[in-house]
Structure formats: C-alpha cells, structure tokens
C-alpha cells in the first residue's frame, strides 16, 4: 500500500470506529487467523471490532483466541447484517472478490456503501476497496497482517494472542513452512511471533494432531480411490457423499488429502473431487509442482481460482461426469504436463 494511503488509513483509525472483519467462505487457518488477529489489534486500539465469517469452519481451528466472539453469517444472520450495515470500516481478508463470501453475503456486501480495506494475497483483486493491500508473492494473509502492523508502526502491540493467530495462518498456508511462498522474511516474521509468545510446537499439535478416527479412516478411503495417470503426471482422488456420510464427515476432515497425490514421485498435478449433495456441486481442489498453473486451470474449467500451485473450483455435474470431463480436459494439457518439471 502506498505511503499516502497508509497515512490516510492511520488518520481514519485515530478515532474509534465501528469495524467488521470478514474472511472468505469456508474459512481456513489463514482466513481465521488473520481476521482474529486483526480484530484483537483493533479492539486494543479502542475500536469496535467483530469478525463476521460467511459460514462455519473446522474444529481444529476452534481453540484459537477470540473464536467464541465470531459471528457467523449463516447462523446469526440478522446480527451479521446489522453489524455490516452499521460498520464505518469493513476489512476483507484473504479473498479478492465478494463472490468468495458466497451468494447471500455477496449480495449484502455489494449493496453496502462503506469504506472497505482489503488485505489479500490472491491474484486479480477486485476494486471495491478504498484501501487495497494486495501482494500475491506473500505466503499468507497472516504474514500480510504482520506487515500491515509494520506499516502502522505497531508491531510492538502484538500480544501472545495476536501472535498465536498469525502463526496459525502462516503455518497452514505454507504447508508448515515448506511451500515456495516461504521466504526468509516469512521465517523472520515467525521468529518475531515466537518472541511475542506464540507457542509454536503446541500450535502445530493443536492444528494437526487432533484427528478423529473417522477422519483417518476417510483418508484411507480417499487414498484407495486415488487414480494415477502416470503419462500425464497427474493423480486424482474422489470422495462421494456416501463415503463422507459413512465417516460422519465434518468440515475440515478432507483438508490436506489432495497433497497425498502430489507427494507421489513423478506427479506434478493433483486434484481431489468431493461430492456435496446439499449444495449440488462437486468441490474441487487442485495442486501442482513447478510451473503448471492450477489457478489458470481452475478459472478456465471449474469456475474457480487461487494461486499457481494451489487452487480450487466447483462443478455442477455429477461426480462421475466431473472426473470424465476432467480427464478429457487433461488431454489438452498433455504436452505441458508431459514436459512439466517437478
């Protein structure tokens, strides 16, 4: 964000404001971590600040500081709408377009005339925000919130709770500091967060070592459903609604499954197709190694988007039709995939 914009925002924040902070629909560790961290900072500064999330999120994030004060648009709809209507400032975090909040909430945001602040690391940010801090090179929105506090000269105000929230999002969005987006700056930010009290080892445990038996057994099903197309350096997994039901699927249970396909030697493109009978869609996650651009792939074929190596989308076809169509589409990428490097 340019210096003048930072100064303008700083001036705005020098008086108590009513603020709302919004993550994307189906919020992940980065979305929840960044919004909760910013909320705590704004409250400390004397503002009214509430996180309004479009919908519910996985249990493995529900221990995070401030999580009980969150308002869910799906469950507390009137309250959520009122908070949005009364807000002087709305921060939107970890997404680039109102559509990422889901249809009902998008409609509300579209007609809300207020000052928006966007902090996000996805490609092609929309232009609804008066203040846009967008940088696709940064690992996570949580890292950006830390840099945002640097811009405001306020990193000394980072508490243990704020540090914990930011740590979670950087950890989850970098695959525990292994993706290419992890830079020396990311590690320096992490070092600062640990200095501020983030209990790193415990955070990893709380997020990653609280699996249910059902989830691990669902992983078994997913792995045995995996189809490998060695000549296309592609592997994909399907999970049907019935398989989800048998294992009492809960939000977040399939998080990370797609990475198992990508961990196979020689595979550069991985996908997972998860049937969702209620929404009448197949939810798709895509991952890649090297230059194969899954963001572009998701945009072109599955109404989605994301980043070069991690993206998502959806299909309105049945699960079977979706994978058949996927395999057909893959043939158009034969050359690119065959020559793709790990």
Q: How far apart are CA 91 and CA 57, in angstroms?
A: 19
Q: Which of 161, 173, 253, 275 binds Mn ion (CB under 5 A)?
A: 173
Using CB under 5 A as the binding criterion, the count of chain residues that bind Mn ion stands at: 4
Q: How far apart are CA 171 and CA 192, in angstroms?
A: 14
Q: Which of 9, 30, 33, 167 binds Mn ion (CB under 5 A)?
A: 30
For ligand 5GP, the closer CB: 58 or 340: 58
For 68, residues 6+ apart whose C-beta sits below 8 A from its C-beta are none
118 interacts with ligand 5GP by CB under 6 A: no
Phi and psi torsions of 148, nearest 5° = -60, -45
Exposure on the CB side of residue 26, measured as CA atoms within 13 A: 13
Q: Which of 27, 66, 304, 340 binds ligand 5GP (CB under 6 A)?
A: 304
Between residue 271 and residue 300, which ones bind ligand 5GP under the rule CB under 6 A? 285
23 interacts with ligand 5GP by CB under 6 A: no
- Shortest distance, position 312 Cβ to ligand 5GP, whole Å: 2
CB 209 within 8 A of CB 166: no
Binding partner selected for residue 25 from ligand 5GP, Mn ion, none, CB under the kind-specific 5 to 8 Å limit:
none
Phi and psi torsions of 194, nearest 5° = -65, -40
- Shortest distance, position 146 Cβ to ligand 5GP, whole Å: 19
- Shortest distance, position 42 Cβ to ligand 5GP, whole Å: 24
Question: Which span sits near ligand 5GP by CB under 6 A: 110-118, 142-150, 214-222, 305-313?
Answer: 305-313
94 interacts with Mn ion by CB under 5 A: yes
Between residue 203 and residue 232, which ones bind Mn ion under the rule CB under 5 A? none
For ligand 5GP, the closer CB: 62 or 301: 301
Alpha-carbon distances of 135 from 22, 45, 139, rounded to whole Å: 18, 25, 9
Question: Which span sits near Mn ion by CB under 5 A: 54-62, 72-80, 137-145, 194-202?
Answer: 137-145
For 93, residues 6+ apart whose C-beta sits below 8 A from its C-beta are 21, 22, 23, 31, 34, 35, 38, 118, 119, 120, 141, 145
Closest residue to ligand 5GP, Cβ-based?
Answer: 312
Binding partner selected for residue 252 from ligand 5GP, Mn ion, none, CB under the kind-specific 5 to 8 Å limit:
none
- Shortest distance, position 179 Cβ to Mn ion, whole Å: 11
For Mn ion, the closer CB: 40 or 139: 139
Q: Which of 235, 312, 322, 330 binds ligand 5GP (CB under 6 A)?
A: 312
Q: Which of 305, 309, 326, 330 binds ligand 5GP (CB under 6 A)?
A: 305
Question: Which span sits near Mn ion by CB under 5 A: 30-38, 55-63, 262-270, 298-306?
Answer: 30-38
For ligand 5GP, the closer CB: 66 or 312: 312
311 interacts with ligand 5GP by CB under 6 A: yes
Binding partner selected for residue 30 from ligand 5GP, Mn ion, none, CB under the kind-specific 5 to 8 Å limit:
Mn ion
Q: Which of 27, 33, 58, 313 binds ligand 5GP (CB under 6 A)?
A: 313
Q: Which residues bind Mn ion (CB under 5 A)?
A: 30, 94, 141, 173
Q: Which residues bind ligand 5GP (CB under 6 A)?
A: 285, 304-307, 310-314
């Amino acid at each position: 964000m340019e210096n003048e914009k930072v100064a303008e925002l700083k001036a705005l924040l020098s008086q108590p404001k009513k603020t709302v902070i919004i993550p994307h629909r189906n919020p992940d560790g980065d979305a929840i971590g960044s919004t909760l961290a910013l909320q705590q900072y704004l409250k400390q500064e004397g503002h009214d600040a509430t996180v309004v999330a479009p919908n519910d999120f996985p249990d493995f994030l529900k221990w995070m500081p401030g999580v009980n004060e969150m308002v869910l648009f799906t469950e507390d709809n009137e309250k959520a709408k009122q908070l949005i209507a009364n807000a002087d400032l709305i921060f939107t975090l970890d997404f680039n377009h109102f559509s990422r909040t889901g249809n009902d909430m998008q409609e509300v945001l579209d007609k809300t005339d207020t000052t928006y602040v966007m902090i996000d690391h996805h490609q092609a940010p929309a232009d609804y925000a008066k203040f846009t801090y967008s940088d696709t090179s940064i690992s996570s929105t949580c890292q950006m919130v830390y840099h945002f506090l640097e811009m405001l000269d306020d990193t000394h105000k980072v508490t243990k709770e704020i540090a914990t929230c930011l740590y979670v999002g950087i950890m989850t969005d970098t695959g525990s500091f292994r993706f290419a987006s992890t830079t020396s700056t990311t590690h320096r930010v992490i070092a600062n967060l640990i200095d501020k009290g983030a209990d790193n080892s415990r955070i990893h445990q709380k997020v990653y070592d609280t699996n249910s038996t059902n989830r691990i057994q669902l992983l078994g099903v997913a792995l045995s459903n995996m189809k490998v197309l060695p000549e296309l350096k592609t592997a994909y997994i399907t999970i049907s609604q019935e398989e989800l039901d048998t294992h009492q699927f809960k939000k977040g249970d399939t998080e990370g499954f797609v990475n198992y396909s990508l961990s196979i030697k020689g595979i550069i493109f991985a996908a997972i197709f998860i049937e969702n009978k209620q929404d009448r869609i197949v939810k798709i996650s895509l991952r890649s190694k090297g230059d194969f651009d899954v963001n572009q792939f998701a945009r072109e074929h599955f109404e989605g988007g994301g980043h070069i190596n991690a993206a998502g989308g959806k299909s309105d076809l049945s699960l079977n039709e979706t994978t058949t169509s996927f395999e057909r589409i893959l043939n158009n990428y034969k050359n690119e995939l065959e020559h793709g490097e790990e």
